[in-house]
Amino acid sequence: MSDTLILEPPHRSDACIIWLHGLGADRYDFLPVAEALQEVLGTTRFVLPQAPTRAVTINGGWAMPSWYDILAMSPERAIDEAQLEESAQHVMDLVQAQIDAGIDPKRIVLAGFSQGGAVVLHAAFLRWPGELGGVLALSTYAPTFTDDMQLSDTKRQLPVLCLHGTFDDVVLPAMGRAAHDRLAAAGVPVGWRDYPMAHEVLPQQIRDIGAWLVERLHS
């Protein structure tokens, strides 16, 4: 997990978004989105890490970029939790590297699509010990969240925006909603937006994400 793509802003960096791609994609998947968002976030660095290539059980054991193996699809995702922890640690290392480079942790946002979203939710709420600027959870779920999740005061102040397609047949909307509801029940300021789309990203969604990020990073 060393092939990280870094998109520097046109002006001196004072914020950072670490964005994880989904299963079978790569670090270039969200580069066009990062480039579009930098038009309104001119001092924000984008860090786009690359998942390792490994066998994925539900896809017949074919090797592909994957943050963790998915062992079964139902009734809930059965996953390789050790690989999820490894990926979460990689995210935390990336966060620490940005802090070491002078970025305030309250200006570091974690974002992830699908499987990448599951990793950043786990890292932000169950592993990273300190503050962050927010979490963007796109078309994703939270396999490690529980109904009785107890979070620190710091975590209960971490803003989250969950975005999901109403026609998503890969990560069902109910799975994304369950992650949202567990965060809300734990006292987290979490928002939900859905769109008439499948397992994908639409221009209106990116505009909404841009507005959400501007509100947090330009305040």
Exposed, middle or buried by CB within 10 Å (0-12, 13-18, 19+), for 82?
exposed
What is the rounded distance in angstroms from the CA atom of residue 164 to the CA atom of residue 175?
10
From 114, 122, 139, 180, the catalytic residue: 114
CA angle 10, 15, 17 (to 5 degrees): 95
Active site residue 139: no
Active site residue 180: no
DSSP 62-107: -EEE-SS-EEE-SSS-EE-HHHHHHHHHHHHHHHHHHHHTT--GGG
From 13, 69, 122, 168, the catalytic residue: 168
What is the rounded distance in angstroms from the CA atom of residue 72 to the CA atom of residue 123?
22
Active site residue 147: no
What is the rounded distance in angstroms from the CA atom of residue 99 to the CA atom of residue 23?
28
From 14, 26, 80, 199, the catalytic residue: 199
Active site residues: 114, 168, 199
